[in-house]
């Protein structure tokens, strides 16, 4: 079996490992030369992931049986349609269906049209004046979201990144004028509570949920600072999170199942791939956003504990024959911590050398995933994005955190950092307490 993997981050390194564990041959297309993925691959293509035609040529030359698409940008660009046109099936939705992530307007309209529970009040504008009038009259705290893709950094919320309504109106104008993620904005009611993620394998009609994960978007310890693509994440051995009940999980999975049905009815096409639901847990889960792919870092919490054969799951996604029993996870907790360059998210120090003692990390029983680094003359250098991630897996979150933290000490460099608090008892306790206050 030959599999093409598109994407070169730590998420894709985790996918690459899962593909190799299944015994398949790996071919990879990515922008930067990820040393972890390169090592596992028969052949790599260094190319921007949205260059769909060039990637399709590479896929044909390599004779791959199917492709797994990691990031959202090539999905939004229609890579699945292009590869499909060459007879190469994909784990990843077609362009029409990838709008569930690529257009927040499409997503909210779909939820409204098909009466899917768990949505938020919203309105969409392409005129800053009309948006400002709406903001003045709405009377409740809001979130301002560019309609299109912004790498997870475009959302701004009152009382958080936006001080008051005046700042919200200014940001709306900026989004529309500078075309940040398109020239339209979604104004949503502000959701309050604790966030959680559910990722699911979807074969067109069956939605098989993976263990829940909580990501940490803020750059600094104590959930302080600016938003990033995600500084680290954890999952628990029972598939839930310490502040989430089984009925919350069932509610959220139902929202995802209804969305997959609605997508089929709306587009007359089947969603095949990974669906990622990000929820805010208040009195009940409210859907914040859908992604049409694995989360990064969340993929690194679920794939290392997947005991089923990943390639067989992919084949069943493509064939539309996936069953609950096909995706079994070890009952283990996981903690993932990202090492990033100083300034990541606002102005990274790129080009700094990082030293990685892989052998010592292995001895600590931790997993290492390379992300956006360059390998030059045997040296690992930072780029502007996240550098590499370490994952601990164990019987409890506390033990997994200790493994990750002790392993990460074997990654050194002058201008890099990580959040030591992710997965610690103290931070989790704070989340439990904040949930009690909301409920
Ligand atoms: N962890 C957030 C994302 O993957 O978009």
**In ligand 1, which atom is closest to the CA atom of 295?**
4
Checking if the pLDDT of 153 tops 80, the result is no
Q: Is 28 helix (H, G, I), strand (E, B) or coil?
A: strand
CA distance 289 to 196: 11
229 CA → ligand 1 middle, Å = 6
Burial 254-271 (b: 16+ CB within 10 A, else e): ebbbbbbebbeebbeebb
CA distance 310 to 168: 44
9 CA → ligand 1 middle, Å = 12
Cα-to-chain-centroid distance, residue 9: 11
Q: Are 315 and 276 in contact (CB under 8 A)?
A: no
Q: Are 356 and 380 in contact (CB under 8 A)?
A: yes
Q: Enter the pTM of the model.
A: 0.97
User: What's the average model confidence in pLDDT over 300-313?
Assistant: 98
Q: 80, 125, 122, 120: which is closest to 99 by C-alpha?
A: 80
**Whether residue 215 has its Cβ less than 6 Å from ligand 1:** yes
**Whether residue 12 has its Cβ less than 6 Å from ligand 1:** no
pLDDT in tens, 175-203: 999 999 999 999 999 999 999 999 999 99
Q: How confident is the model at residue 99 (pLDDT cuts 50, 70, 90)?
A: very high
Q: Are 300 and 344 in contact (CB under 8 A)?
A: no
User: pLDDT exceeding 70 applies to what percent of the chain?
Assistant: 100
**Whether residue 295 has its Cβ less than 6 Å from ligand 1:** yes
**Whether residue 230 has its Cβ less than 6 Å from ligand 1:** yes
Q: Are 305 and 240 in contact (CB under 8 A)?
A: no
**In ligand 1, which atom is closest to the CA atom of 233?**
1
Checking if the pLDDT of 398 tops 80, the result is yes
133 CA → ligand 1 middle, Å = 32
Ligand 1: residue whose CA is nearest its atom 3: 295
User: What's the average model confidence in pLDDT over 365-371?
Assistant: 98
Q: How confident is the model at residue 149 (pLDDT cuts 50, 70, 90)?
A: very high
**Whether residue 74 has its Cβ less than 6 Å from ligand 1:** no
**In ligand 1, which atom is closest to the CA atom of 197?**
1
pLDDT in tens, 198-220: 999 999 999 999 999 999 999 99
**In ligand 1, which atom is closest to the CA atom of 152?**
5
The rounded mean pLDDT for the chain is 97
Query: Residue 195: which residues within 8 A CB-CB, separation 6 or more?
Result: 214, 215, 278, 279, 280, 281, 288
List domains and CATH numbers for the chain.
Answer: 2-94 (3.40.50.20), 127-183 (3.30.1490), 194-429 (3.30.470.20)
Report, in angstroms and rounded to the nearest whole number, the Rg of the chain calculated over CA atoms: 21
Q: Is 124 helix (H, G, I), strand (E, B) or coil?
A: strand
Structure tokens belonging to residue 193: 């509570």
231 CA → ligand 1 middle, Å = 10
Q: Check residue 178 and give its pLDDT.
A: 96
Query: Residue 179: which residues within 8 A CB-CB, separation 6 or more?
Result: none
CA distance 138 to 94: 36
Determine the residue of 107, 199, 210, 291 to mutate for testing ligand 1's pocket, defined as the one with the most ligand atoms within 8 A of the Cβ atom: 291
**In ligand 1, which atom is closest to the CA atom of 293?**
4
Ligand 1: residue whose CA is nearest its atom 5: 295
Q: 329, 336, 340, 327: which is closest to 397 by C-alpha?
A: 336
Structure tokens belonging to residue 396: 């409890």
CA distance 40 to 54: 21
216 CA → ligand 1 middle, Å = 10
pLDDT in tens, 318-346: 999 999 999 999 999 999 999 999 999 99
Q: Check residue 404 and give its pLDDT.
A: 98
Checking if the pLDDT of 158 tops 80, the result is yes
pLDDT in tens, 400-425: 999 999 999 999 999 999 999 999 99
């Amino acid at each position: 079996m030959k599999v093409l993997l598109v994407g070169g981050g730590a998420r894709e390194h985790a996918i690459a490992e899962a593909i190799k564990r299944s015994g398949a041959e790996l071919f990879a297309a990515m922008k930067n030369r990820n040393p972890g993925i390169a090592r596992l691959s028969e052949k790599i293509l260094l190319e921007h992931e949205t260059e769909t035609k060039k990637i399709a040529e590479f896929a044909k030359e390599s004779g791959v049986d199917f492709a797994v698409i990691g990031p959202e940008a090539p999905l939004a660009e229609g890579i699945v349609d292009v590869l499909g046109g060459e007879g190469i099936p994909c784990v990843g939705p077609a362009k029409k269906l990838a709008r569930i992530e690529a257009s927040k307007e499409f997503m909210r309209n779909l939820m409204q049209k098909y009466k899917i529970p768990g949505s938020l009040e919203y309105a969409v504008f392409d005129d800053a004046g009309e948006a400002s009038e709406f903001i003045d009259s709405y009377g409740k705290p809001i979130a301002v979201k560019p309609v299109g893709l912004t790498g997870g950094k475009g959302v701004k919320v009152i009382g958080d990144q936006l001080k008051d309504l005046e700042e919200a109106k200014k940001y709306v104008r900026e989004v529309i004028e500078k075309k940040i993620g398109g020239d339209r904005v979604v104004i949503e009611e502000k959701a309050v509570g604790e966030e959680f993620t559910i990722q699911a394998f979807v074969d067109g009609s069956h939605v098989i949920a993976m263990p829940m994960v909580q990501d940490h978007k803020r750059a600094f310890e104590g959930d302080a600072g600016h938003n990033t693509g995600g500084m680290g994440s954890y999952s628990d051995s029972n598939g839930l999170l310490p502040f989430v009940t089984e009925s919350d999980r069932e509610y959220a999975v139902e929202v995802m199942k209804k969305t997959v049905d609605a997508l089929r009815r709306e587009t007359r096409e089947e969603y095949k791939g990974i669906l990622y639901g990000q929820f805010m847990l208040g009195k009940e889960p409210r859907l914040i956003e859908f992604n049409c792919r694995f989360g990064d870092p969340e993929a690194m919490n679920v794939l290392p504990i997947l005991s089923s054969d990943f390639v067989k799951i992919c084949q069943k996604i493509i064939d539309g024959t996936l069953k609950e029993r096909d995706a079994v996870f070890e009952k283990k907790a996981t903690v993932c911590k990202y090492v990033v360059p100083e300034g990541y998210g606002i102005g990274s120090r790129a080009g700094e050398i990082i030293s990685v003692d892989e052998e010592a990390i292995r001895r600590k029983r931790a997993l290492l995933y390379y992300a956006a680094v360059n390998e030059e003359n045997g040296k690992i250098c930072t780029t502007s994005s996240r550098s590499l991630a370490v994952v601990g897996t164990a019987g409890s979150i506390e033990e997994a955190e200790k493994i990750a933290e002790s392993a990460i000490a074997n990654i050194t460099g002058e201008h890099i950092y990580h959040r030591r608090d992710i997965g610690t008892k103290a931070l989790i306790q704070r989340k439990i307490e904040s949930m009690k206050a909301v409920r």
